[in-house]
A and B are shown apart, each in its own frame.
Chain A
Amino acid sequence: MNIIYYLPLILIFVSVIISIKYRNWGYILSAVSSIIFIAFTYRTFDYITYFYLIAGIVWTITSIYSLSYGKNYGKWLAPLFILTIAGMMTILYANNFLVFIAGWEIMSIPAYLTVAINKKNDIEAYVFMFFSEISTVLIMVSAVLSYYYTGTFGFNKINNDYVLLIFTLGAMSKMGLTPFMISEWLPIAHGSAPANSSAIFSATMTLMGVYGITKLALLSPVSEVIGILFIAIGIISVMFGSLYAYISENMKSLGGFSTIENNGTLLSALGLYIAINDGIFRAFVLISILIFAMSHSIAKTGLFLTIGNTGTEYFSGISDNKGLLARMGKFFILSSLSGLFPGIGGLGTWMILESFFMGAFIQGAIGISSIIGGSLLAMGEGFATAAMFKVYYFTDNHSKKNNKNNLETYTIFSTGVMLVFLFSISFLLIGKEYISGIPNVLIFNGFMIESRFGPADFGLLSPIYVVLITLFFTLLAYLVFGKPKTRTVKRWNTGIENNETYNSFTYSSNIRLMLKKILKTNSGKSDLETVDIFWYFMIRIASSYRKLTKYISYKIMNSSISTYMIYMIIAFISIIVIVSLY
């Protein structure tokens, strides 16, 4: 292998060292190495390399954003931030489990330190570390199993799904999927991780999990059972992730839950991929996963940058109204995360939903799972749209005048534009077998994406036409009617002076009340507090475990010689019985 191929990896580790002394140069070198990484590793239609493109774009955006944003934090942020990226790059370069695990730890430990150094309490850092190490242990187990079945630590074809299953459990712990949701939102929301770090935790660190699962899924045999299991876990994550995002008042927490929702969609799509055997269909599902992962990662980065740009964590703390560029960028980012056009998220969501609805044509359990999964995913997207609208509206203080633009604003705008750009050129990223046209209606060959699982197409979409038509009518409306004329008038409330406005909390209280049994909404007269039920049950299990151990220590292991004697006699008899049986 050519050493030049590894140049970005060398550069990123060098930039870690440089950033200790020269923060900005570190970030610049990190951005440069990310761009080179894309150039060296990305190959069109080699779908696994799309992960390199996605990760590279996110690292570039966050590194540039950090040039301005990172000023607010101490010297420690830049090296830890870049080292996390270096860990992820190691994962993407890895061609065997050992390097992969090394990269996983290089990625996790600086991330843990970022949370720990910037902590408010100890719990967030411990939670982060605990779930990270669970994931590492499970990935190690899957590596050992892979070695057992294939005789090497390399990524080779395997005849059963155990490696994939255990690896996925490990990745789930990192991705914040059910029942490990806490591992995603808590460190981000309450650990006060800086926005740039939150962006890479949420956008690319979880992407590494998706990457690992995809890599192993490509090497593993078809399994309907595991596929349906992944669909189920994914769907539960989507539903709860989107619900919790909608009701979150902490903006970073909202972003964390949105990631859980997106990762849930990806896992369920991976489940569909693992469960089906049709070559054309499988390939379409795989591309869908990659397009969705691309939209999620880049748009999620934009979401965290938008949140970081507000200078606060809670909607209630918003004091500024950002400029037009920031609002436009935010609009494209959030519409993409809502699964709407003209961002690439619209295409990703369309492709995933098409995959599930096509899956409904397969007979049996997978067909039923597909139609149920697709419907619930669509519902989850609906909640996500509501959550994103909340971010769009309530991250500005509408009574204030616009602020001036700065580097952070330009980065947000560029991220939004990039999502539209990627959507426009998406037909270039998708294999020729899914590209066609209808020249009779002026959609020329090569500009239309077809979803299909057989010779006939199932659904059609032409992203470039969507963008061009939207742009055309927008410009036409602008030319005809000119700049929209708006005026702000003082509210008249039948003579009563009341200047309060609808806020983000009231916006989402409908769901707090409608789903109070699921969300465990405090229905007392104090307020409408909700509980993450997975965290709630985890705490209950931990508390029950502590009670059990306390009971055992008091009742059995209580230093009473007679109790020990009974215990030893029972143990001795048991051993004799077991030995005699064999």
Chain B
Amino acid sequence: MQSFNKKTGRYIGRYKNYDVYSNEIVRISEENKEDINKKLPGEITFNYGPSAGGLEESVNFNIITPGERINSVRVDSSFKRRNIKILNDSVDSALLKVERINGYHSASNSICFLLAVENALNIENGESNNKRIIEIELERIRSNLHVIKCLAESAGFSIPEKQLSYLIEDVSRIISTVFKHRYFFGANYINDVNGNFNNLNESILKIKNEFMVIYQDLLTSKIFMDRLQENGTVRDMNSTGPAARASGYNYDARLDSSSLYYESYKIFTGSSGDVFSRFMVRSDEVFSSIELIENTEIKENESKNKYDLNKSGTGYARIESPQGDLFYHVDIKDGRINDILMVSPSYLNIKLFEKAMPGNIFTDFFFVWESFGIWISEKEVNFI
């Protein structure tokens, strides 16, 4: 890591002038200009967003269409760009800001940031490893349920949508019970997780059973399947998370990153690379995350360690957030953040969406968009 020269390993994404690979960070001369597709006769530009019904976050879609079919789409996420003042902050202060980058993926961001800091300050991720895994897997369950809920909503399936919303609320309440906050705020610290894991397994089993019923019902709906199958197909080696696994790539930071140690994890992959395949991978991962939580042993810290954070160093961490590889690189100088680099999986997922959409028609748009579980808030972070 940190060679800034060669491209080795798989591509994780980009932050400002840096391309991040699983084994290297490569500085690029300047951010590549987005290539604008030339319009053919008869085609028009249809603009959707940045603030419009059906969109959870501010994002603009520049769609080129000859009518009905979408021939090209460019995602402009810059409307959500946020300058987050973090440089020269202490680790404690920076952590408060990082865990609020995206509430839905707060655990992933906080843990990945802390792992990078620990890596920089030579602090071993020991007793908290399993607790952190539980946090991330709980977050993954909620995030995947959210994506599936959005797919049901796109299909106009109000009943499963409401059932899934209810289930998401249940998961949030479990998180709130265990970590004292439904978005994990204040739960994480250097090599420490503040949580009460008693009765977690019983609660999570209930989620498993309830989701199984909804999942089976959705699979028996031919209408739902028709909307998902052969829709938004994409296969690209530069992909990440469930989208990559749905296309047959066994990319998973739980397997190929040492930042967090997973004792045993069985990867799920699809082959078709369409919305249905992404739906299947996410659903399977809901069950596998529940299994991981059930099988992860929790050892309570006997004593709270005190770490000296007023040191200097450079470190990185990469974890499998619900939507794919999340990467943090920090440079700490005398306990203060000197430089920070973050790559969200939404960067690659947006690229994949842009590749998946051409050839599909307008009514497929929301299925394809929702299937990637993109969070613009994560992608458009500018640390200053």
Which A residues are within 8 Å of any B CB, using their own CB? 249, 316, 493-496, 498, 500-503, 505-510, 512-513, 523, 525-528
Q: Is the CB of A503 within 8 A of B50?
A: no
Identity of the chain B residue whose Cβ is nearest the Cβ of A511 in the assembled complex: B68
Task: Please name all residues of chain A whose beta carbon is closer than 8 Å to the beta carbon of B52 when the two chains form the complex.
Answer: 494
The 7 closest A-B pairs by CB, nearest first: A509-B67, A506-B67, A505-B42, A498-B47, A527-B40, A509-B68, A500-B44
Secondary structure type dominating chain B contacts = loop
A507 to B68, CA, bound (A): 9
Q: Is the CB of B68 within 8 A of A494?
A: no
State how many residues of chain B have any CB contact under 8 Å with chain A.
22
Q: Is the CB of A505 within 8 A of B41?
A: yes
Question: B43 an interface residue at 8 Å Cβ cutoff?
Answer: yes
Q: Is the CB of B40 within 8 A of A506?
A: no
Q: Is the CB of A501 within 8 A of B67?
A: no
- Give the A-B pair count, Cβ closer than 8 A: 65
A-B contact pairs, 25 of them (CB 8 A): A316-B41, A494-B47, A494-B50, A494-B52, A496-B47, A496-B50, A496-B60, A498-B47, A503-B42, A503-B44, A505-B41, A505-B67, A506-B44, A506-B68, A509-B68, A510-B68, A512-B67, A513-B68, A513-B69, A513-B361, A526-B40, A527-B41, A527-B43, A528-B42, A528-B67
Identity of the chain A residue whose Cβ is nearest the Cβ of B42 in the assembled complex: A505
Chain B min CB distance to A492 (Å): 11
Q: Is the CB of A525 within 8 A of B358?
A: yes
Chain A min CB distance to B79 (Å): 9
Residue-by-residue, is B27-69 near A (CB-CB < 8 Å gives 1, otherwise 0)?
0000000000000111111110111100000001000011111
A356 to B351, CA, bound (A): 56
Q: Is the CB of B66 within 8 A of A528?
A: yes
Partner of B42, one of A249, A496, A501: A249
Q: Is the CB of A527 within 8 A of B42?
A: yes
Task: Please name all residues of chain A whose beta carbon is closer than 8 Å to the beta carbon of B46 when the two chains form the complex.
Answer: 500
A526 to B71, CA, bound (A): 8
Chain B min CB distance to A260 (Å): 23
A373 to B50, CA, bound (A): 50
With A316-B41, A506-B44: A528-B60 Cβ-Cβ less than 8 Å: no
Known: A505-B43, A506-B67. 17 other contacts (CB 8 A): A316-B42, A494-B50, A494-B52, A496-B47, A496-B49, A496-B50, A505-B42, A506-B43, A506-B66, A509-B69, A513-B69, A513-B361, A523-B359, A525-B71, A527-B40, A527-B42, A528-B66
A493 to B65, CA, bound (A): 17
Chain B min CB distance to A503 (Å): 6
Task: Please name all residues of chain B whose beta carbon is closer than 8 Å to the beta carbon of A496 when the two chains form the complex.
Answer: 47, 49-50, 60
Q: Is the CB of A501 within 8 A of B40?
A: no
A232 to B278, CA, bound (A): 48
With A494-B51, A496-B50, A496-B60: A528-B45 Cβ-Cβ less than 8 Å: no
Task: Please name all residues of chain A whose beta carbon is closer than 8 Å to the beta carbon of B359 when the two chains form the complex.
Answer: 523, 525
A3 to B44, CA, bound (A): 62
Most chain A beta-carbon neighbours within 10 Å: one of B40, B41, B69: B69
Task: Please name all residues of chain B whose beta carbon is closer than 8 Å to the beta carbon of A503 when the two chains form the complex.
Answer: 42, 44
Q: Is the CB of A498 within 8 A of B42?
A: no
Q: Is the CB of A501 within 8 A of B69?
A: no
Identity of the chain A residue whose Cβ is nearest the Cβ of B358 in the assembled complex: A525
A494 to B52, CA, bound (A): 8
Q: Is the CB of A507 within 8 A of B67?
A: yes
Q: Is the CB of A505 within 8 A of B66?
A: yes
A526 to B359, CA, bound (A): 10
Partner of A506, one of B49, B50, B65, B361: B65
Chain A min CB distance to B8 (Å): 33
Identity of the chain A residue whose Cβ is nearest the Cβ of B40 in the assembled complex: A527
A123 to B157, CA, bound (A): 55
Identity of the chain B residue whose Cβ is nearest the Cβ of A316 in the assembled complex: B41
Residue-by-residue, is B345-365 near A (CB-CB < 8 Å gives 1, otherwise 0)?
000000000000011010000
